[in-house]
Structures are given as C-alpha cells and as structure tokens.
Structure 1
Amino acid sequence: MAKQEQVLHLRQILNRPISLLFLLLALFLLLGVFLPWPESSSLFSFSNRVTSSSSSLESKWRDYSLSQAAKFVAKNGTVIVCAVSSPFLPFLNNWLISISRQKHQDKVLVIAEDYATLYKVNAKWPGHAVLVPPALDSKTAHSFGSQGFFNFTARRPQHLLQILELGYNVMYNDVDMVWLQDPFKYLEGSHDAYFTDDMPQIKPLNHSHDLPPFGQYGGTYMCSCFIFLRPTNGAKLLMKKWIEELQTQAWSESNRFKANDQPAFNLALQKTVHEVDLYLLSQVAFPTGGLYFKNETWVKETKGKHVIVHNNYIIGYENKMKRFQEYGLWLVDDHAFESPLGNLQ
C-alpha cells in the first residue's frame, strides 16, 4: 500500500511542472543577487582594468613634455631629434637600425606629429617620443611640395630652438637617411651650427667649411635635413631668424616647391653669417642624394668615406623605399630586431 502511495505522490509532482519552473527561477535569482558568478565578476573587473590601464597610458604620454623627454634621452648633453608622422614609421625604423649600429640610439627623441605615432613609439620604446601640440593630420604621407609637407617642416626650427633653450646640443636628422659611420666624429671644433650642402656638384675633398658664396640665383643651397647645433647664442639666433623667415612665407600652388623650410633656412644662414659661427660639413662624408645616387663613378672613388646617406632628390614614399632597396640601404625587412622598436608590423 505504501508503494502505491509513493507512486501516486510522484505523479502529482510531475503534473505540476509550472510550479517547479517558478521555484527554480526564484532560486536562480536569489543566488544571482547574493552570490554573483565569480567568472562574470572577474571578466568585468579585468575589462575595467584594461580600459583604465590603456586610458592611463595615453594620458601619461599626452601630458609628456618636451623638457621631460629631452632630459630622459639626453646623453652627454646631446639629443638626436627627428620629426615623424605615422605613415613614415617604416623609415623611422630603418633610420634607427643604422643609428643603433653606431651605438647612439639611446639619444634619439622622436617628435611625433600625430598621436598614433606618439603612442606606438612609446608603447615599444617608452619615453622616446613626444608630441608638441598641435598634432597634425596623419592620414597621408605628405609629398614634397604639398601644403601638408610645408606645415610639417615649418615646425622644425621651433622644436630645435626649444631644445637649445633647455641647454642641450641637438642633432636633427630626416628619417630618409642611413648612417654608415658615426657622424659625431666629424663635428670638428666648437662651432655654433653644422650643416651640409645640398648641391650635387662635386667639391674638392679639402673644400672650405665656410658658408659657400652665393650662387647664380643670389643665394646658397644648404640642406636643412641634417643639422647639429650647440646651445649657444649664435645657434639660437640662427633658429630665431629661420622662424622669422618661415613666417613671411605662405604656401600656395604657385610656389609649392619653394614654400618649405629649406629656402628659409638658407636665408637665415645668409642673414646671420657674420654673427653665427657656421661650419659646412664634408661633402664626401655627407653627400646629398643628388650626388650619391646619381654619380656612380664618384661613389666608387670615395668608397668608405661616406658617413650619412640622404635619400633626397627623389619624390614619393614608394620611390624612396625602392631606391633604398636597390642600394642595399633598406634594412627593415631583414634587420628589424636591431631597432629599439623591433618589428612594427
């Protein structure tokens, strides 16, 4: 009889599925309120930590000042500076490999022209990138002669003057360069400013280190892409005059190949030549691209004497890269591990 009662009771329970469902749901809700799932809690906590960490990292570098950055990288009172926007990060890496081979990479400060560059460089190499507001448009690699190129290069003397005012020697390089030797060995004496000639005409090996006489167009043609400055009154005067000359220029389609920082730099040199101790670097050691890449005979005759090769006298990002590749100077593909930034892909 007892067994029949148990069977009857079981049938009554099975006939009440809705009541059981509500009971289970209620139990589930109570557990959810008082005992939250540990997996869910950990997931939300981790997500918040990642977001907070990323935000904190960006805030740190957004607030990083030029004076802090220069102090961090300066070695023996010297800072090596370049200015880069994100499309040119592969060229930055190529340049850094060549500097690392000369053991000077720790002195490098990358002036990022956009936040993408600032964060990417500092994520790989903390402290070696700084952004001096305002940030520029980083969507395209600015071509020579474009308004973007003018806006980019016109900021150069302001950056250099700021570093000089902080009391450091500063060496400026464009990143379409490759170091083959240590350039510091060629900075003879204690002059205010050192620079290179951008003309491809061959000079004697023992040419004068004075500012060359004005050419047929009434001026000089020195390159503004490699400059070494000491924190002297003369070097600061040169930078201030360069800034003044740039302020008188305005970019337009009609003068787009003249509206860049180099003509203004030459005017500043000419107007301060009697007040600033200037030094023209050796042409054979610091050849312009118009000579190195276009005079094979000269390159063979002067082999072993080249210090920095400048990939100018050619327009276009892809064209520059291709020429470096053809001359065995594109180092990124096989030697990225030698750069402090590693593989940027």
Structure 2
Amino acid sequence: MAQNQHQRPLTSSPRSYSSMISNRRNALLLLLLLALVLLLGVFLPWPGSPLFLFPNRVSSSSCPSSLSPQAKSKWRDYTLAEAAKFVAKNGTVIVCAVSSPFLPFLNNWLISVSRQKHQDKVLVIAEDYVTLYKVNEKWPGHAVLIPPALDSKTAHNFGSQGFFNFTARRPQHLLHILELGYNVMYNDVDMVWLQDPFQYLEGSHDAYFTDDMPEIKPLNHSHDLPSPDQNGETYVCSCMIYLRPTNGAKLLMKKWIEELQSQAWSESIRFKANDQPAFNLALNRTAHQVDLYLLSQVAFPTGGLYFRNETWVKETKGKHVIIHNNYIIGYDNKMKRFQEYGLWLVDAHALESPLGKL
C-alpha cells in the first residue's frame, strides 16, 4: 500500500541526532576561530615592527591623523636608547633633527637616502610633538622626542633664539648615541644624497666632517683640519658629521657642548647664533687629542660652491655625493633652489620615501 503523503517522517535515531549537534558545534567553533584569526591579523603588528619589540607602542594601522591620548602617551615614553636599538644596522645610526615646518624637507632627504638603501638606519629626532606623531604614524619607531619639546615656529627662523636653541641640542643627542655604543652620521635635512656616502668614510678616524668654505681645493687636498683664517677661525660645517663611538669623538662632543653653554644668544650675534662656531672652536681645541678627517670637497661640496660655480660643477660631474643647500636663507628660497636644480624630489617621487605623501 502506498505511503500517505502527509505521514510524518521517521524520528532520527539518538546516534544521528547526536552527530548533527556535534557537526553544528564544530561549524560554530570553526567560524569563531576564523573570526579570531581575522581580528589578530588586523590588530597585532607584524613581527618586524617596533611594536613587536616594544609591545607598549602604537602601530601605524592604529595611528590616525589625530592620535588618541593613549597612543600619544605611548610615543612620549619612547626613549632614545629604544629608538637607536630599533633603527641601528651594523652598529650605525643615521640621525637628523626636525621640527614640523621642515617635514617636506625631511621627506625629500629621505627619498635620496632610500635610493642608496640606507633608510632603515634613519632616526628622526623630533623637536616637537607634531613631528613625533606624524613620523611614527607613517613609519613606526623611526622618530623620538627628547624633552623638552621646542617651539617649532621660532626654531623655523634662522638666527632666532629659537633656532639657536634648536641647533644647540645637536651635540647632546650625538653624544648620547655615542655613549650607547653606535656609530652615528648626522645630516641636516636640506641635503640630498646622490651617492652612498659611507664608501667615503675611509680609515677608522674619530670624526669626519666637511669644509664650509667655497674656495676650490685641489682634488687631492689634505684631510687634516683646515688652517684657521686671519681671524683665527675655521669654517667647518656642522651639518654633515660622522662619528665613531671612541673616546676622541665623545671628547669632541663634550667640548662642543661646553662651548655652546658658554655662548649666550643675543641680537648682536644673531647671524652667528647657531651651533657651527662652537663646533669649530671645539675642533680646534681638541685637535691634538682627536683623530679628525676632512672629507673630500668634490664629494661633499658646500652650497656656496655647488650652487654658485657652474663651471666647477660641470668639471666634477659624477663625483658629487651629498649636496648641501646652504649659503641661502629662507625656507621658500631653499625649496625653490632645489627645484631649479632638479633636487626637489617630493612632488614626483614621494612614494619612494618611507613616509609616503605627507
């Protein structure tokens, strides 16, 4: 006899019902596991980031333009020792000091450093909290602030007391890094790398530096400290320095700090109110105790030569390593000159910088 179409289906056996419940439970557990994996992938940092080394730091993915108070407090606690340890490669740190108005110049310099494959060694010493948060938002772990923070507006103007306060901190930062045991290269960010400068750091001297005088030297010039002029002064540049963690280099930094502490800023000396005169005094007063090395002028020309002697530039083409945009005053003037010489890279090549477009 045919089965009634409205007959209720047979009830499942206890074994089949138990199996069905078990399958549903397994499916639910699998979904929960997948959700957990996705959450971990979003919120945990990748192993190479500073957050993996320092779990109390904030990651770039959780650093919006306006950072939360909690995120800001974490970067405020980031120490120079932690930062140097994170960026150092082969015992070397590349340092620059930046206030927020100069972030475009920082980015321009970083593009040129990246082209020479040395960007991972870079540590930005932020002189204000805007710079600290902006760099670490884009490039976690590569900026540190050493209190107190400065007024970025006054530090922006050459010759101002704020500018003097800004540059006067430089030897203290460098000495600290030397005492941590690292080689350190310092650059101002109004520079552009055309070649790898490390191949020019010959020998094992304590300190390497460049001459700031525009007079042309012979290609095989002496690497000794330049002779003082008729006023007893030398004009070595304090904007490109390489130091090894030796007693001699540390002595030079300590003497530089002493000279700066004895030099009070005033309107009467405003155009000399930066760290360079004190650096030259320190060099001359420690020359008999420190192994000094003057870098090649053709490789590291001052802006007073590179931007003002077209004939010399053509004759030495291909030999330039770092170009310094000095011998000119004013933010806009520096930018315009870089643009005129094809050295303003940010507009067309921002993505080559670790910071990307700012």
Q: Same fold (TM over 0.5)?
A: yes
Q: 1:338 to 1:273 in 2, by over 3 A?
A: same
Q: Return the offset for 1:140.
A: 5.2
Match of 2:204 in 1: 190
Indicate if the aligned counterparts of 1:191 and 1:279 stay in contact, CA closer than 8 A: yes
Tell me the equivalent position of 2:118: 104
Which one of the candidate residues 234, 251, 259 is aligned to 1:245? 259
Residues 56-83 of structure 1 deviation map (CA, whole Å, 9 limit, x = unaligned): 2211100000000000000000000000
Q: Give the partner amino acid of 1:187.
A: L
Q: Distance in 1 between matches of 2:134 and 2:168?
A: 24
What TM-score does the superposition give when structure 1 sets the normalisation length? 0.84
Measure the CA separation in 2 of the matches of 1:53 and 1:154: 30
Aligned to 2:138: 124
The answer to whether the Cα contact below 8 Å between 2:63 and 2:71 also exists between their aligned partners in 1 is no
Runs of 4+ in 1 over 4 A off after TM superposition: 49-53
Decide whether the 8 Å contact of 1:285 with 1:305 is kept in 2. Answer: yes
Q: 2:218 — aligned with what?
A: 204
Query: Which of these residues, 324, 346, 349, is aligned with residue 310 of structure 1?
Result: 324
Q: Residue type matched to 1:296 in 2?
A: E
1:148 to partner: Cα distance: 1.2
Q: Name the structure 1 match of 2:298.
A: 284
Give the gaps of 5 or more residues in structure 2.
1-61
Structure 1: give runs of 5+ residues left out of the alignment. Answer: 1-48
Residue aligning to 1:41: none
The separation in 1 between residues aligned to 2:142 and 2:189, in whole angstroms, is 15
Distance 1:319 1:141, change over 3 A: farther
Contact (CA 8 Å) 2:207, 2:244: kept in 1 or not?
A: yes
Paired residues of 1:143 and 1:315 also in contact (CA < 8 A): no
Are 2:99 and 1:85 equivalent residues in the alignment? yes
How much identity, in percent, do the aligned residues show?
A: 87
Aligned-pair distance for 1:141? Answer: 5.7
1:196 maps to amino acid: T
Secondary structure of the corresponding residue to residue 178 of structure 1: strand
Query: Which residue of the other structure, out of 277, 295, 307, is the alignment partner of 1:263?
Result: 277
The total of aligned residue pairs comes to: 296
Q: What's the counterpart of residue 300 of structure 1? A: 314
Distance 1:327 1:127 in 2: 33
User: 1:22-78 CA deviation, whole Å, 9 max, x = no partner?
Assistant: xxxxxxxxxxxxxxxxxxxxxxxxxxx999982222111000000000000000000
CA displacement at 1:213 relative to structure 2: 1.1
Please, what is the CA RMSD of the aligned residues?
A: 1.5
Q: How much has 1:191 moved relative to structure 2?
A: 0.2
Residue pairs, 1:133-172, within 5 angstroms:
133-139=147-153, 142-172=156-186
* TM-score normalized with structure 2 length: 0.81
